[in-house]
Amino acid sequence: MDRILYEMAELVKQKYLHINDYYNLTLEQKSILEQEDIEALGGNIGSKQVIIDQVNQIDARLRQLQSLLKEDFGMAALEGLPNHQSVKAILEVKGRIKEIISQAIKLDKENTGRLRFVFDRIGTEVENNQKTAQALKAYHHDNPRKQAVTVPVFMDHKR
């Protein structure tokens, strides 16, 4: 049982570090959105996805270990051993993880709003640029022979 609890404690610490990295990337994402650097945003989102995948692997292993505790020792929850040192460490780190996740979720919601604003503004700019390009095409052609030629017209006012 001690080996399982020790491994769980180590995994929870790793998860905490990954969640903390995720939060830092979310903070970085905020400044990227303020700078409207779409390429950097793509890299940031990719890095966040890597962290999510790593956390999912850790969670899968934690579920396996929790299942072992339940099968071998009849423990449905870690709270059943509150005096065990590893259990105290696990529960403490889990509490910190929950705090960081709630902060990251809040920041992600703010970033989503910023992202919508940036994409709406960029979409409007693209639309305006397309309209301007169409208007310019009407007056200027790529082929000089097809260019609109304005010929002066002289009118005889005597008639």
154 by DSSP, 3-state: which? coil
- Per residue in 102-134, is it b (16+ CB within 10 Å) or e — as a string? eebeeebeebeeebeebeeeeeeeeeeeeeeee
Q: Where are the domains of the chain?
A: 2-120
Comparing 53-57, 73-77, 101-105, 117-121, the range with the smallest average pLDDT is 73-77
Residue 32 has pLDDT above 70, yes or no: yes
Per CATH, the number for 2-120 is 1.20.58
pTM over the 0.85 mark: no
Q: What average pLDDT score do residues 81-107 get?
A: 87
List the structure tokens of 90. 């696990």
Query: In the predicted model, is pLDDT for residue 22 greater than 90?
Result: yes
> Residues 115-130: what's their mean pLDDT?
79
